[in-house]
Each structure stands twice: as C-alpha cells, then as structure tokens.
Chains A and B, each alone.
Chain A
Amino acid sequence: MAELEAGATKGPQRPRPLSPHLQIYKMSLTFVMSGFHRVTGFVLYFGILLLAWWLIAAASGPNAYANFEWFMGSLIGRLMLLGYTWGLIHHSLGGIRHLIWDTSRGLEHAERELLALATIVGSISLTLVVWVIGYLAMGGPR
C-alpha cells in the first residue's frame, strides 16, 4: 500500500504521477525557450491592443491615424513595435517547434537543443530582415 501514498488523497485511486518542482530540472536551452514561449504569448496577448488601435485609428479618420503614427514613430512606439515583431516571430517559430513535437518528432535531447537554438537564432535574424525590409519600404530610416 505504501506506493499508493504518492499523489493519492482518499478513496480508491491509483497513485497519479507527480511532477518534480521547477528547481529540480537541469537548465537547458530547451527549458529557457519553453519559458520564452509562454512569456511571448503573454506579452503578445496585450500587444494586440496595438493592432486594434491601428485598425480603429484608420477607421476613425486622418486625425486619429496621425496620432497613431506619431506614437509609433516615437522612440517608445518603435521599441514596442520592435518588441512586438520579435515576440510574434519568436512565438511563431516556438509554436512551429511545438507542432513538430506534436508529431512525435524532434524529441531527442540533441534535436530539442537544436530546435531551441534554431528558434532564437531564427527569430532574431527574421526580425532584423523584417525591419530592414520595412525601412527600405519606407525609403530609409526616418
């Protein structure tokens, strides 16, 4: 009966597996990127306010749109947009990684670490590419 104790409260239950506490896990890039995925998802959740503001401003008229453009052109606005771009790309790549895992592929230790590295290197590079194209489309930095 001793083995019944772990995770069991009362009643006729099988012991359920318990997951060890957070500090128990060994640090790895996979571990950090997993945290990043949740954090970026959380930040993007509120970041969508920027997207909504953009659409509502466009629908409201030239003045509202000018306010939006002024804010996005400010240092804070640009930093938020840069963060949003990176967050969106990072979370998407992290999401693709999750979808690959869902097919039971890429779960070996070396593969996991490689995928984690690909997410962070990929997200930073793609963010730079997007911003360079953005500035080119605007005809250079302003």
Chain B
Amino acid sequence: MKDAQMRTPMRRVRGMGAAHTGTKDFWHQRVTSVAGIPLTIALIVIAIALLGRSHAAAVQILGSPIVAIIMLLFIVNIVYHMWIGMQEIIVDYVHEDKLKLAALMGNTFFCFGIAFASAFAILKLSFGV
C-alpha cells in the first residue's frame, strides 16, 4: 500500500516502456541484428544456389543438414528480431489501448505461425516422410 503511494509514475515506467518489456528488447534486437548479418548472407547464397532447380534437387539441398540448420537459425533469429521490431512500431503508432493489445497479439500470432510453419517444413525436408 504505502509503497504504491510512494511510487511516482516514473518509477513504474522506468525500464519498462510502452510494451512493458524494457531494455531487454533493445538488447535482443541488437543480438538478433548481429546474428542476422551472416545468416542473411547465407540465405542469399542458398537461394541463388536453388534458382531454377527441379523440385527433387531443391528438396535434397534444403534438407541437407548444413543448409537445414542454417535455414532454421535464420528463421528463428529473424522471427524473434521482427517480433521485437513490429512491437516497437506498434507502440509508436497505435495509442488506443484495446487496439494496441490486439495489434501486439496479432504480431505474436503471426510470428509464431511463421516460425512453426517454416521450421516444420525444414524438418520435414530433412527427415523425409
């Protein structure tokens, strides 16, 4: 009780920000950016290597362990990165509370959907069936 009264609004806000997650997101944005550089180069190389190839060849290349691992890393890293990034965009432009919550939730759904669908596809390409 007393504590709640003593707290200034600043105290509640400090280290939290509009999405209530604070500087952790800022740091993770940086980590995923650094990791994103080599992974993006790798993605471009893989995409070029697959241009114009038959389905069978594409499956073989995408399913080979090194390529599959790189693709999985790319997806997981970039989905986390863009989830934080979109959250930042939403809190900058959407100020109405309910709309903001809906947008933040939609962001999470979209990112999870992309991550799981892509990861499933890569694993299926690797393990066959």
Hey, which bits of chain A sit against chain B, CB under 8 A? 9, 11-14, 38, 41-42, 44-45, 48-49, 51-52, 55-56, 58-59, 61-62, 65-66, 85, 88, 92, 95-96, 98-99, 102, 130, 133-134, 137-139, 142
Contacts and interface: CB of A to CB of B under 8 A. Distances in A.
B44 interface: yes
B33 A48 contact: no
Which secondary structure dominates where chain A touches chain B?
helix
A12 B7 CA distance: 10
B89 interface: yes
Contact of B62 (A12, A42, A55, A88): A55
A82 B86 CA distance: 23
B24 to A, nearest CB: 16
Contact of A95 (B33, B48, B71, B122): B33
Contacts of B49: 137
Given A12-B8, A55-B122, A58-B121, A137 B52 contact: yes
- A55, A65, A96, A130 — which one has the most chain B CB atoms within 10 A of its CB? A55
A58 B30 contact: no
Contacts of A51: 75, 118
Given A13-B8, A42-B89, A56-B121, A88 B55 contact: no
Nearest to A14: B10
Size bracket, chain B contacts: 35 or more
Given A45-B82, A52-B118, A59 B89 contact: no
A10 B106 CA distance: 35
Contacts of A66: 55
A25 B59 CA distance: 51
B40 A92 contact: yes
A96 B30 CA distance: 10
